[in-house]
Homo-oligomer: A and B are copies of this chain.
């Protein structure tokens, strides 16, 4: 709050000076007030235009592959929800040539509109990847744009994955420079920074030079998407989709010489000034191409709020180790972090959506089925008699000693035997990332019932070998419903 109180008047003062002077930052760690910021827009444009694909470290290449794989599963998994269906109905009459498929659907649209719809599908279940430092969902805007565009204009796997990597890198770094103040103002950071990532990625596969890439960044800056007031409505998932589309259009305009400010991010009356009360531009520019934010990407193992994940993890571990029959269970004693009951305290969920806000349902369904994917949060799952009986036996108590990524569970059977699991770091957390095998299981769970199993496996295979594909457009084509 001290930062906010300081920073806004500083911007007001700059206005009295007039002219196209850069905005100063006043927060700790940022440049001293009044000093010129680095040429952020041009620095990231140069990086986006020239970062060599063959210098991405192996670990980052691997994380980029996992990011793609997780995102493709999400895009298929959410494709039959209401939101993408409504978007297709609205956009189809205006769509251009059938340049790109939609994940999990039969329609084809022009590339920018396909990017929009796929972005919606990939985020609608809140099951996509998370850059934990900023809560950005990095893949949404970038992969939505790239998978659609690669069907219109062939791109090698190497170029595609390099563009995905640098696009995610740019959005996460811009996010780091303004988080949390930007987020606290009301912005949904995935949409506001995602447009830069999508523009950089598409600009890169278009081969934009540094000046045109700078214009693409400028055109991206002028089209931020997303307010947090939309959470709980279809418009939340619109944000990564529209960011993808806006970014693609930005790159296409820049390719034709459509000019924009060269200092659109850091300049006076620019993105940073308008959209945040603090900017630490070093977060954007330092170590570009050396350290990778994308390497910190995480994936949700379970299709509900992240605070429930340690408890679900405990339930699945306990089931895998002991195979208790639901009918044999007398009680389930759960110790959780205080936020859990705050956010997930619904004791009698009546719908699948309500189930996502019930730690009792989440634990019960995980004990019964050993899974907590999208199928665990359907209306049917919430009404399943075995699950209902078991969820009434869950006693959750808050324990301040339990950390956010921890949970403690003791199951007592009717015969008096007890089983205990303590989760130190939940699966999917920074210190216990999902394994490749867990990502595969999540992927197959998401595509189940939408794509035929053999097609899902082919799609999975394309994702694993994405860096070496001849034609990355195959991913989007294979992901469509036949």
Question: A residues touching B (Cβ–Cβ < 8 Å)?
Answer: 1, 4-5, 7-9, 11-13, 15, 20, 82-83, 86-87, 89-91, 93-97, 99, 110-113, 184-188, 191, 215, 218-219, 221-235, 238-239, 242, 249, 252-253, 255-261, 263-264, 267-271, 273-275, 277
Contact across chains for A1 and B5 when beta carbons are under 8 A apart: no
How distant is A207 from chain B, measured CB to nearest CB, in Å? Answer: 15
In the complex, are the beta carbons of A235 and B259 less than 8 A apart?
A: yes
In the complex the two chains form, what is the Cα distance from A300 to B24 in whole Å?
A: 35
The answer to whether A270 and B227 touch across the interface, beta carbons within 8 angstroms, is yes
* Complex Cα–Cα for A224 and B227 (A): 10
Query: Please, how many angstroms separate the alpha-carbon atoms of A458 and B87 in the complex?
Result: 38
Q: Could you say which residues of chain B place their CB within 8 Å of the CB of A91?
A: 249, 252
Judged by DSSP, the binding face of A is helix
Q: How many angstroms between the C-alpha atoms of A14 and B255 in the bound complex? A: 43
Most chain B CB neighbours (cut-off 10 Å) among A12, A224, A258: A258
Complexed CA–CA distance, A112 and B249 (Å): 13
CB <8 Å contact, B229 and A20: yes
Residues from chain B with a CB closer than 8 A to the CB of A234 are 258-260
**Which 9 pairs between the two chains have the least Cβ-Cβ distance?**
A186-B274, A228-B269, A229-B270, A186-B269, A235-B260, A86-B256, A4-B8, A90-B252, A233-B259
* Cβ contacts A to B, 24 pairs, < 8 Å: A1-B12, A4-B9, A4-B11, A4-B12, A5-B9, A8-B277, A90-B252, A90-B253, A94-B113, A96-B96, A186-B273, A188-B222, A219-B238, A221-B229, A222-B226, A224-B224, A227-B269, A229-B268, A229-B270, A230-B264, A233-B259, A233-B260, A234-B259, A235-B258
Interface centre among A191, A235, A261 (most CB of B within 10 A): A235
Q: Told that A89-B256, A221-B227 touch, could you supply 15 new A-B pairs with CB distance under 8 A?
A: A1-B9, A5-B8, A7-B8, A86-B257, A90-B256, A95-B110, A186-B268, A188-B222, A222-B230, A228-B269, A230-B261, A232-B261, A234-B259, A235-B258, A274-B275
